[in-house]
Amino acid sequence: MIGTLSRATPVIVQGITGRMGRTHAALMRRYGTNIVGGTSTRTDMTQVDGLPVFASCADAVAATGAVASVAMAPPGETLAAVQEAIAAGIKLIVTVAEGVPMHDAMRIGRLVRQAGATWIGASTPGLAVPGECKLGFLPDVCLAPGAIAIMTKSGTLSYEVGYRLVQNGLGQSLWVGVGGDPVKGLRFADLLPVFFDDPRTKGIILVGEVGGNEEEECAEAYKRLGARKPLLALIAGREAKEGVSMGHAGALVLGDAGTLDSKTRQLTAVGAEVFTSLDTLIDASVRYFGSAP
């Protein structure tokens, strides 16, 4: 349902009375997201900033018709939050927490897949349809409606990319932070069909990192699906230390697995362009997607 998200999509925030939940519910609303309420374990609050607070996702969904949720739960409680949301019929859930145990993420993944729902995260700033809505906390300064779909493992590196695109008069059609964890919801390869089918999207920027094989998987899918739109990639971590996670749990290089060379080779082989610096990526984006002078 990523491709059909809009400012009409009703969204709840799980954990809306917490510090993070309250702040970001307000920021999302300000951006245009149709936040219709939230959940909390607090029994003394029935409203926060004019939004109804429910005891459970089931109550929230029944009262508001919400189909999407942003779970502001700590890492150890993310599994429970997703279980609750899926049981209530939520179709799209974004989990922002960093540090969700990998075996919990496997349980979440199986559960969401079985329910036919969509999971974004964990360890992500979320997603946005610039000009319409955002689910999570992508900074507004990086967002502008446009023709480039961004998919990214990293929050900050994608902020930098988005910010510079905006400075260069470019914008984004869709922006999905798949997150920095190894076991996660939507992966790069899952997003290609969405971006290929999205009429707003003229091209794709992939912001990757060393570790895992998501970029390689995406290269394979890109070829299989017919390379229908240009794919530009920026991958961080050439100088990463082997055997140690570089901040993101997924950014772990072991031997030849997960290295930048492997990712670059496979993406390049299917016709994607891989860049080694922000400047060269932005220059190419302007070349590809900038309006003719």
Partner 1 sequence: MLLIEADGKALLRQRGVPVPDAVEVHGPVATLPGEGPWLVKAQVPVGGRGKAGGIIRCASVVDVNTAIQTLIGRRLKGHVVESCLIEEAASGAERYLSIMVDAASYGLRVMYAADGGVEIENAGGVHGILCPPDASAVAQALDKLLLDETIACRADVVQVGQRLASLLLERELALAEINPLFVGESGCVAADAKVVVDLNAIDRQPEIATMIAQRRTVYVDANRKLAEGFDYVELDDEGEIGLVTTGAGLSMMLIDELTQRGAKPLNFCDIRTGQMRGSPARLIRELEWITARPSLKAVLVNIFAGITDLSEFAALLAAAIKASPALQVPVVARLVGRNAADARRILHEAQPGMLVTEDLNEALVKLDQIVGARA
Enzyme catalytic residues? 248
Closest CB to partner 1 among residues 55, 242: 242
Compute the least distance from the CB of residue 17 to partner 1, in Å.
18
Q: Of 22, 187, 229, 263, which one interacts with partner 1 (CB under 8 A)?
A: 187
Residues 256, 246: Cα–Cα separation, whole Å? 16
**What are the residue ranges of helices labelled H in the chain?**
19-31, 57-64, 78-87, 102-115, 155-167, 188-197, 214-224, 260-269, 278-289
Closest CB to partner 1 among residues 275, 289: 275
Q: Give the N- to C-terminal CA distance of the chain in Å, as an integer.
A: 36
Closest CB to partner 1 among residues 34, 245: 245
Residues 243, 265: Cα–Cα separation, whole Å? 22
Handedness of CA 57, 58, 64, 69 (dihedral sign): positive
63 binds partner 1 (CB under 8 A): no
Q: Of 65, 76, 169, 290, which one interacts with partner 1 (CB under 8 A)?
A: 76
Regarding beta strands 92-95 and 273-275, do their DSSP bridges make them parallel or antiparallel, or are they unpaired?
A: unpaired
Q: Of 21, 38, 171, 237, which one interacts with partner 1 (CB under 8 A)?
A: 237
**Region 125-164 residues binding partner 1, contact defined as CB under 8 A:** 125, 137-139, 141, 152-160, 163
Q: Name, in order, each residue with C-beta under 8 angstroms of 201's C-beta and a sequence gap of 6 or more.
A: 147, 148, 149, 173, 174, 195, 229
Site residues, partner 1 (CB under 8 A): 23, 27, 75-76, 99-107, 109-110, 113, 125, 137-139, 141, 152-160, 163, 180, 182-184, 187, 207, 209-210, 212, 214, 217, 234, 236-249, 251-252, 254-257, 276-279
